[in-house]
Amino acid sequence: MTGTDTGVGKTVVTAALAAGVIARGETVAVYKPTQAGLDDGRGDVDVVRELAGVTTAVEGIRLAHPMAPVAAARRAGTTLPELAEHVARVADLAADHDHVLVEGAGGLLVELDGHGRTLADLAAALSAPAVVVCRSGLGTLNHTALTTEALTRRGIALAGLVIGSWPAAPSEVERSNRAELDRSPAGLLGALPEGAGRLDPARFRAEVQLRCP
């Protein structure tokens, strides 16, 4: 799970996909390599656990400051896990679950460790397809194309696109963007309604649905 930027809705999309997997009777774990920044002491895995009803949702490391992982670790005076550690954690989760969803921090090329390795490197090491979460507004076509091109150049399969927040009253630009994204080779898995992450968990699971890749 990656996005065209930070704050595009990756966590809520992860929750929606996890809920969809659970609804079809399969098991799923969620792994967040690096959590940087907390909301009232809660991280993204806490949100996913609550919204989707996921039993297993874990982090590689939790950092207090809402910064890029390398900067947040430096400020905390700690060391980020190595890429191999993330790969091993995902493998352990995969041994006990039908699916593992890995949610990145920020965008695709944000560094995850002290050696310049990124979520793209993790996806490549896992041979995992990527879901790209994008915005609805002006600029999203370029940002999405840049992210998907980076995936393609690294040989990472693209499972699909998701608009992370779709307004109740979309503008002409947003409607046009959605049509263009749906016509892209990756195609749209869906668009989450604006404010979906604030729904009651039972309502979220009943109403917020995506086409699971």
pTM beyond 0.85, yes or no: yes
Query: What is the C-alpha to C-alpha distance for residues 31 and 101, in angstroms, rounded to an integer?
Result: 6
For the record, the structure tokens of 181 come out as: 């994204």
Catalytic residues: 32
For the segment 5-53, what is each residue's pLDDT rounded down to a tens digit? 888 999 999 999 999 999 999 999 999 999 999 888 899 999 999 999 9
pLDDT more than 90, % of the chain = 92
For the segment 137-148, what is each residue's pLDDT rounded down to a tens digit? 999 999 999 999
